[in-house]
Every structure is written in C-alpha cells, then in structure tokens.
Amino acid sequence: MPDARHPSVPNLTTAHSAPLLRFEQLLLEKAPQIEGWFRREFHKTPAPFYCSVDLRNAGYKLAVVDTNLFPAGFNNLNPVFEPLAVHALQSAFEKLMPSACNVVLVPENHTRNLYYLEAVATLRDLITKAGYAVRIGSINPAVTAPQEIALPSGKSLRLEPLQREDDRVYVEGFKPCVVLLHNDLSGGRPAILEGLKQPVVPHPKLGWSDRLKSQHFAIYQEVCEDFAEQFGIDPWLVNPLFRNCGEINFLKREGEECLAANVELLLEDIKAKYAEYGVSDEPFVIVKADAGTYGMGVMTVKSVDEIRNMNRDARKKMASAKEGNEVSGAIIQEGVYTFETWRDAPPETEGMTTEPVQRSDMVAEPVIYMIDHYVVGGFYRVHAGRSNTENLNAPGAQFRQLAFNNACNCPEPSQAPDAEPNRFYAYGVVARLALLAAARETVAALASDAN
C-alpha cells in the first residue's frame, strides 16, 4: 500500500564529502555538548516564534542560504510531523502567555493565492490543535467584511478584517491576547500594528521592510564563528561568505562598480577556500536584493563580466523585487552547489504530493522548519528546470515531504555519520545556527528601536 510517510528519498552525490563527513562525525560525538551549547544560547537569547531556513548541501559544505522569519510552507511538511509542531507551539505560546488565550493570525494580503492560504489554514489548524482559539485577522484594506475562502484541500479559510480600538486589535467578537504575524511586511509596517498593548510576534521590526539579508548573515557569521571555535571546525563549512553593496539601482546602472568589485573579491575568496579543500567545482556567487523575499531579483554569477555585461532585461528582473520596490541594496553571497537530487517514487505513490510526479532527477535543497527553539521537520524544495547553481525558490518549484524518521531532531549514534537520521540531524543543527542568528538579530533590531 502506498504510504504518505514513505516518500522517496533524496540522493547526495558529490566527489568531496570528506569535510562534511568529519562534521557529521563531530555532531554525533558531541551531540550532548552541542545541544547544551544551543540551550545556553537560546536561554540567553530567546528564539524567534518561528523560522524556516533554506540549506544547500555541497557535500564539502552545508550552508544556510536564506532565513525566513515568516515561514509560509507549513502545508509542505509531512502531516506526521504535526504532533511535533503542536508541542512546539504550546511551548512557544506558553512563554508568551502562561495561561489560556486567544490568538489572531495576521496573514499576507493575498486573497487569491490559494497555495499561500493553504499554508495559513495549516498553521491555523496546528494552533487549534495546540489548544488555542485562533481567528485570521487580515490587514488587507480590501478585506472589509468576513470572507470564507474554499481551498483545494477541502479546507475553508475565514478571513476577517483586523480592527483596532485604542491600543488593541481584534476581529469582530474575538479579543486576542497575542498577535501572530504571518505577513512579512515587505510593503512596510502598517499603522494598525504600531504601539499595541498586545504582544506582536514576530516583532514588526523583523519584517522585510526593516530587515536586511546582509545584517542577518553578518550575525550568522558571528554565530558560526562562536560555534566553530567551541567545537573546533572551520566556520566556512557552514557559513557562506558574503559581501554587500549599499546603493544599487540596476536600471540606472548606479552602484555597478561596487557590485563588480565585490563579485570579483568574493570569487577570489571562494577560489582560495576551494583550493584549500581540493574542490574542483567552479566558484560562483549569488547576487540578490538585500531586502525582500520571494526569490525575485536573484542572479547566479560565475564571472565579473556577467555583471559588467548585464542586458536591459536582466537589469529589469533584478530591479523588480516583491511589491514592485526597486532594489536599493544587494548582497553578494557565496554560491553553494547543491549536490542533492530528488527522484519521485513510481506513480503508485502519486497521492503523496500535490504536484505531478517527476521521474527524472530534480535539483533539491532542504528547508528546515523551527518553532521556538525546536526543529519541527522540513521538506525538500525541488525544481525540474533549474541547475545546481541556481536559486530554487522560484516559480516552478515543487515540494517533497520528508519521512518522519527525518524529523531532524533525532540523531542515531548507532548508525553511520551520514546515515539519513544523522544527515538530517546535521541539517537541524545548521538550521539552528541561523535560528540563533535570527534571535540575536531580533535583539539588535529591538535595541535600535529603543535608541
């Protein structure tokens, strides 16, 4: 019988797995110390409410390439992970409010992106299962009355206008004591959420209108250095090198020299690290908007000439980040090959995905989900039309569930360091380095608020 919990598994094929194997071996040997280190760090700096992290595994390197504080793929997680998410939500909400309380969930302004709304419905159901009454309060000005939206899964989602009275928000007949933000605020911080008496988590200052990737990755680098020093590894194994440029206007060709210079320098740095580890792959960098999300304005660059010779179309694409904002800053990040591929199981298991079955190898990258400081699962983002040097978070991406024994929080010391549960435990460790960076980023953002 087909089993939703037995999806096919990803393959990792690389000629240079020795550095990662040593890293996985270290994680297995030092798991209690590593968990202890995370405990101390998250005790000092509480984890964000939730977080998802995109990883790339090159075999010789396992790095975080993006950290999202408004994870929008809860519907991509294997449903067998639900009890884990329920536990973690209970733990996260208890810290905010020790006793019972109502939650209002503030989603993105989409009302027609059913795929996104499925994720909201999944999150709503998880919060309900965790034992909290929850309603969806939209800040979309077009939502002036409750709307019931039927979803492809058969679920239904009720959007209600978020209203404000004095310093509290509510939806009709429902007073929340926590506002759970699931809107990344790419369009800016809305007035309705400013100066509320109710806690808003994550804090609106963590929205994409305030957040910069270069800020996050600067802190991530510090976290990796702390971790690396503690456990005796080269931080490069988990940290993508990066540089950034403050003012770029792709259409007006402003800031191009900064970009070209940094691309060149970064390619040199990567080349040096590849030489150190005997990696024969061709170095590349990813240029992307320093603010924003949704995989727009992302470019793979292998030579500085590609920057100098960008045509008008490429410039236009880079300029159009989410919500039409022009890109003003850019981060130039070390490109990390993904040597993971995914091939779907034969058609009888078709029921397990919402996507068409692909019988050829697709480039894949793991996405790890966390709530509070707990890893609650993950999935693979796969793309049939992209190569192993390209951003996969792009139209055409599909999602493949992980089996439950790959919940990323259960190392299996009796198995080989690169056996699946241990590889996924490594994913959970590296993802939590980014989670810790996001925690420190939150503290920094709120401190700058106070100034």
> CB 246 → its own copies: shortest distance, Å?
39
Indicate the residue among 100 and 142 with the shorter CB distance to its own copies: 100
Return d(Cα 184, Cα 71) in angstroms, integer.
Answer: 9
DSSP state at residue 249: B
**Distance of closest approach, residue 6 Cβ to its own copies, in angstroms:** 7
Question: By the criterion CB under 8 A, which residues form the site for its own copies?
Answer: 1, 3, 5-6, 31-40, 43, 80, 82-84, 86-88, 90-91, 94, 98-101, 128-133, 155, 374, 404-405, 407, 409-411, 413-414
Identity of the residue, 120 or 245, whose beta carbon is nearer to its own copies in the bound complex: 120
CB of 408 to its own copies, least distance (A): 9
Question: Please, which residues bridge with residue 63 across strands?
Answer: 56
Provide, rounded to whole angstroms, the least separation between the CB of residue 303 and its own copies: 44
Tracing tokens 């790890």 back to the chain, one arrives at 368
Nearer to its own copies, 221 or 349 (CB): 349
Our CA angle for 451, 46, 56, nearest 5°, is: 105
**Bridge pairing between strands 362-371 and 50-57:** antiparallel
Q: Would you say 100 or 150 has its CB closer to its own copies? A: 100
Q: How far apart are CA 343 and CA 319, in angstroms?
A: 34
Structure tokens at 218: 């600067």
Question: Smallest gap, in angstroms, from Cβ of residue 133 to its own copies?
Answer: 4
Burial 189-207 (b: 16+ CB within 10 A, else e): ebeebeeeebebbbbbbbb
CB of 102 closer than 8 Å to CB of 124: no
Choose between 129 and 302: whose C-beta lies nearer to its own copies.
129
Closest distance between its own copies and the C-beta of residue 308, in Å?
49
132-90-103 Cα angle (round to 5) = 35
Task: Give least dist CB 211 to its own copies, A.
Answer: 28
| Closer residue to its own copies, CB minimum distance, 77 or 266 | 77
Closest to its own copies by CB, 40 vs 253, is 40
Cβ 119 to its own copies shortest distance, Å = 17
Q: Of the candidates 196, 204, 181, 164, which has an alpha carbon nearest to the alpha carbon of residue 109?
A: 181
- Rounded to an integer, what distance in angstroms lies between the CA atom of residue 389 and that of residue 392? 9
Residue 129 tokens read as 């299962």
What is d(CA 356, CA 90) in angstroms, rounded to the nearest whole number? 35
Indicate the residue among 41 and 344 with the shorter CB distance to its own copies.
Answer: 41
Q: What is the DSSP letter of 351?
A: G
Distance CA(308)–CA(167), nearest Å, equals: 51
Question: What is the distance of C-alpha 450 from the center of its chain?
Answer: 27
